[in-house]
């Protein structure tokens, strides 16, 4: 099945790319999640709009990625979460939670799909979280999960 990617999909392509995938993968995974739209003559016209939107969100170049990395690593990020008496969280911390906490701490907008959590964060404490800003630039954030 021929699709137009609406978001970056690891191992497949970036937003605006036209890809050919198996029908089941498209029907059961990409289309329901909103990561792709079915290719058509009308959909082909949307490619330019998707690429323009991607270019405004995307890191411009290596120097820009280095600037964002310095801003991310300089600011401490605290994430309040509900926890029990022992410090165990009710649920776990997700990439979306980390992206929101970075934004709340005054940092730049970070795409949640570029955040890599090493383990499931289920306890109060300090963690190292990696953010891929550019293929050559990876920022490490010190995330402090505190009891709310």
Instruction: Mark whether 27 and 49 lie in a shared domain.
Output: yes
Q: What is the dihedral of CA 133, 82, 80, 109, to 10 degrees?
A: 30
Give percent of the chain above pLDDT 70: 92
Instruction: Mark whether 80 and 132 lie in a shared domain.
Output: yes
Which backbone phi and psi does 78 adopt, to 5 degrees?
Answer: -110, 135
Instruction: Mark whether 35 and 80 lie in a shared domain.
Output: no
Distance CA 120, CA 140 (A): 17
Q: Using one digit for the tens of pLDDT, what is the confidence trace for 97-141?
A: 999 998 888 888 888 888 999 888 999 999 999 998 877 888 999
Instruction: Mark whether 47 and 92 lie in a shared domain.
Output: no
**CB atoms inside a 10 Å sphere around CB 118:** 9
Integer CA distances (angstroms), 15 to 10, 28, 33, 120, in order: 11, 19, 14, 28
Closest to 31 (Cα-Cα) out of 62, 54, 2 = 2
**pLDDT band, residue 84 (cuts 50/70/90):** very high
Instruction: Mark whether 136 and 104 lie in a shared domain.
Output: yes
| Mean pLDDT of all residues in 141-146 | 93
**pLDDT band, residue 46 (cuts 50/70/90):** confident
Instruction: Mark whether 109 and 143 lie in a shared domain.
Output: yes
Residue 56: per-residue pLDDT: 57
Instruction: Mark whether 95 and 32 lie in a shared domain.
Output: no
HSE (CB half, 13 Å, CA atoms) of 17?
13
DSSP state at residue 147: E
Instruction: Mark whether 86 and 24 lie in a shared domain.
Output: no
Average pLDDT, the chain: 86
Specify the residue for token string 């979306």: 96
Number of domains in the chain: 2
Residue 59: per-residue pLDDT: 58
What range defines the domain where residue 94 resides?
Answer: 62-147
Instruction: Mark whether 112 and 127 lie in a shared domain.
Output: yes
Distance CA 71, CA 102 (A): 10
Instruction: Mark whether 98 and 75 lie in a shared domain.
Output: yes
Instruction: Mark whether 81 and 134 lie in a shared domain.
Output: yes
Instruction: Mark whether 48 and 15 lie in a shared domain.
Output: yes
């Amino acid at each position: 099945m021929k699709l137009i990617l609406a978001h970056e999909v690891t191992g497949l392509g970036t937003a605006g790319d036209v890809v050919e995938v198996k029908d089941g993968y498209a029907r059961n995974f990409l289309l329901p999640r909103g990561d792709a739209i079915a290719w058509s003559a009308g959909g082909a016209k949307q490619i330019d709009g998707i690429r323009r939107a991607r270019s405004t969100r995307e890191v411009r170049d290596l120097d820009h990625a280095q600037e964002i990395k310095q801003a991310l690593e300089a600011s401490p990020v605290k994430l309040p979460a509900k926890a029990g008496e022992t410090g165990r969280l009710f649920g776990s911390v997700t990439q979306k939670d980390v992206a929101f906490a970075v934004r709340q701490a005054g940092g730049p907008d970070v795409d949640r799909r570029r955040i890599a959590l090493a383990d499931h964060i289920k306890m109060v404490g300090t963690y190292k979280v990696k953010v891929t800003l550019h293929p050559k630039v990876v920022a490490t954030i010190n995330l402090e999960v505190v009891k709310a």
